[in-house]
Amino acid sequence: MPTEILMPALSPTMEEGTLAKWHVKEGDKVSSGDILAEIETDKATMEFEAVDEGVIGKIVIAEGTEGVKVNAVIAVLLEDGESASDIGSVSAAPAAAASAPKEEAAAPAAAVSPAPAASAAKDENRIFATPLARRIAADKGLDLSAIAGSGPHGRIVKADVENATAAPKAAAPAAAASAAPATAMASDPSSDAVIKMYEGRPFEEVKLDGMRKIIASRLTEAKQSVPHFYLRRDINLDALMKFRSQLNKQLEGRGVKLSVNDFIIKACALALQQVPAANAAWAGDRVLQFEKSDVAVAVAIEGGLFTPVLKDAETKTLSALSTEMKDLAARARNRKLAPHEYQGGSFAISNLGMFGIDNFDAIINPPHAAILAVGAGVKKPVVKADGSLGVATVMSVTLSVDHRVIDGALGANLLQAIKDNLENPISMLA
């Protein structure tokens, strides 16, 4: 019997992707481990390997097709003795759906999802849905139990509730219904309304790729749902700059050159160990506290950003962190990171100092509990310990904190630990 090749889920959060390129054509023989295609997710372009041997009998989804749902059939593999005639009508419907424009592919779930998918999404009274889908359903007054999910294993996703026409929850109390407008998240004006606003003015429409859409969705949700508060400190970098210069001279023979950012990563990793209660993540109805310091670092790429994670950063030397960070950043810019390299962590760093930014406030990337926004190191007048005036290299940082996880005093202790580590850099080698 022909084997259907399904659109893979290349990360836990992936719901759809772009089939960027086929490396095989119909009639090609493939073996386990052969590269079949390149799949573009919101974060990266990744190679998709064959798991079985056989002959490519039919390519269902053409390369360049966007919005291909996870578990949609993208090709059919024939085993020995089978021919194209054995395929019959296999996957004809998914092919048509995936090949359609993205707007059409986002049709109501009830029209494209078979009943088994809906039943699979429900385990007795439990409904499987993404957090964003639940939020949208609540805002629209929709009953999730009446919506069929089109995600993996029948999971209800954003597109299902956005396009659902199910009746509002009948059992909702009147008081809750009247309170809904007060608590509902603000929504953006429609694209048509915005375009009409600028009617008569020249402009170019820029199509959003998957990464830009995910960034917009996640950060909007984060800013609206995560109770941010902000802590600011100035950090004297004179001792660090002097120590860095000495270390770099010693490391020249090894081809290692430490950046200020390498010291910041190390300082944050150690601070999370020094203030362990802050080394945590929000998990919906609980807090997860971690033993290791897994620090994410924002890397700007064309069209968006990556946050590769340096795992066990507290145990690594400055030179090891520098080498690893350079490798992760290079592969991030080429969108060649594997999901496990940019997922996880409890803390993030966003450094805009190299762009001349003095200070800024960063948005927390859930489920992280905090993110450190790092500004440029600039010469400023300071009051020395003896009371005299002097000039020092000062860096302004802002710690954005999730108040559900970290309270004010705890956040202040974490930021103090980061400051102490950076102002006494030699202690980070102990």
Whose structure tokens read 């049709």? Answer: 107
Burial bucket for residue 281 (CB in 10 Å: 0-12, 13-18, 19+): buried
Put residue 201 in one of left, alpha, beta given phi > 0 → left and psi -120 to 50 → alpha. beta
What end-to-end distance do the CA atoms of the chain give, in Å? 63
403 is a catalytic site residue: yes
β-partners of residue 117 are none
Q: What is the C-alpha to C-alpha distance for residues 263 and 249, in angstroms, rounded to an integer?
A: 16
Strands 304-306 and 389-402: unpaired
Q: Are 167 and 143 contacting, i.e. CB atoms less than 8 angstroms apart?
A: yes
List of residues 6+ apart from 199 with CB closer than 8 A: none
Q: What is the C-alpha to C-alpha distance for residues 71 and 68, in angstroms, rounded to an integer?
A: 9
What is the amino acid identity at position 395?
M
β-partners of residue 309 are 296
Distances (CA, A) of 301 to 18, 39, 327: 19, 18, 14
- The four Cα atoms 216, 222, 223, 224 give a dihedral, to 10 degrees, of 100
The b/e string for 162-176 (b: 16+ C-beta within 10 A; e otherwise) is bbbebeebeeeeeee
List of residues 6+ apart from 372 with CB closer than 8 A: 264, 268, 347, 348, 349, 350, 362, 397, 398, 399, 400, 418
Rg (CA), the chain: 26
Q: What is the C-alpha to C-alpha distance for residues 77 and 54, in angstroms, rounded to an integer?
A: 6
| Catalytic residue selected from 23, 153, 228, 403 | 403
**What letter does residue 350 receive in the DSSP assignment?**
E
Q: What is the C-alpha to C-alpha distance for residues 237 and 263, in angstroms, rounded to an integer?
A: 11
Tokens of 342: 């940019």
β-partners of residue 210 are none
Residues known to be catalytic: 403
